[in-house]
C-alpha cells in the first residue's frame, strides 16, 4: 500500500528529476553579489555547463558513498555542473570548478558546498514544476537559493546568504541558454 507521504515524495522526486533534465545544457550567467553591510557590489560573468545524471550514474554512486548512504543506488537523479567565471574586480583571476547534485526524497546531496569543499546536504522544495528552492546550512551559515526556469532559454537564480541569523549577501543571476 502506498501512503500519501510516499506519493508526495514520488511527486517531489519526479518534479525535481524533470527540472534537472530541463536544466541540462550550456548557460551564459550574469550575476551580481550584493554585500549588505557595506553596499559592495561584485559582478561576475560565467559559462555554466549542466549535465543531467540518471540513476545509477557512476558520479551519483560516488556521491552516495561520500554521504555514506546505505544504498548506493538511493540517489534517483542529479546534475554535474561545471563553470568558468570572470569577475569584474580588477586583478581577480578567473575561476573554474564543478559540483555534483543528487536527490533522494526531499534531500539534495552535493559533493561540496558554496563555501566548503566538504560534502553537504540541502533540503529542497518545488513551488511549481519550474521553480526549485534549496536551503543549505553549515558552519553557522545558511544559503537559500531559488532557481526558476523561464521558458526554454532562460532562468533566474537568487541566493541569500545568512550568518548567525543575519542576511549578509544576496546573489542575483540571469542565465541564458547558449
Count of all residues that appear for the chain in the document:
178
State the pLDDT at residue 116.
87
Q: From CA 67, how far away is CA 79, in angstroms rounded?
A: 16
pLDDT tens digits, 2-12: 555 544 555 89
pLDDT tens digits, 16-58: 999 999 999 999 999 999 999 999 999 999 999 999 999 999 9
CATH of the domain at 61: 2.40.128.20
C-alpha distances in Å from residue 146, one per residue of 86, 94, 128, 155: 22, 25, 12, 10
Geometric angle at alpha carbon 75, from 148 and 126, rounded to 5°: 25
pTM score, two decimals? Answer: 0.89
Domain count, the chain: 1
Rounded to a whole number of angstroms, the CA Rg of the chain reads: 17
pLDDT tens digits, 128-174: 999 999 999 999 999 999 999 999 999 999 999 999 999 999 999 99
The range of the structural domain enclosing residue 158 comes to 4-177
Could you tell me how far CA 125 lies from the centroid of its own chain? 12
Amino acid at each position: 500500500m502506498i501512503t500519501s507521504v510516499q506519493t508526495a515524495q514520488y511527486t517531489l522526486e519526479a518534479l525535481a528529476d524533470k527540472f534537472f533534465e530541463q536544466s541540462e545544457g550550456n548557460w551564459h550567467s550574469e550575476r551580481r553579489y550584493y554585500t549588505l553591510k557595506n553596499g559592495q557590489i561584485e559582478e561576475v560573468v560565467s559559462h555554466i555547463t549542466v549535465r543531467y545524471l540518471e540513476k545509477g550514474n557512476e558520479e551519483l554512486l560516488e556521491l552516495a558513498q561520500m554521504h555514506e548512504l546505505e544504498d548506493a543506488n538511493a540517489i534517483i537523479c542529479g546534475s554535474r555542473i561545471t563553470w568558468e567565471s570572470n569577475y569584474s574586480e580588477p586583478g581577480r583571476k578567473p575561476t573554474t570548478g564543478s559540483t555534483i547534485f543528487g536527490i533522494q526524497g526531499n534531500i539534495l546531496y552535493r559533493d561540496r558546498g558554496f563555501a566548503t569543499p566538504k560534502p553537504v546536504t540541502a533540503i529542497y522544495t518545488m513551488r511549481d514544476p519550474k521553480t526549485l528552492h534549496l536551503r543549505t546550512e553549515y558552519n553557522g551559515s545558511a544559503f537559500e537559493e531559488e532557481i526558476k526556469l523561464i521558458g526554454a532559454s532562460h532562468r533566474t537564480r537568487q541566493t541569500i546568504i545568512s550568518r548567525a541569523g543575519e542576511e549578509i549577501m544576496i546573489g542575483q543571476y540571469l542565465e541564458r541558454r547558449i
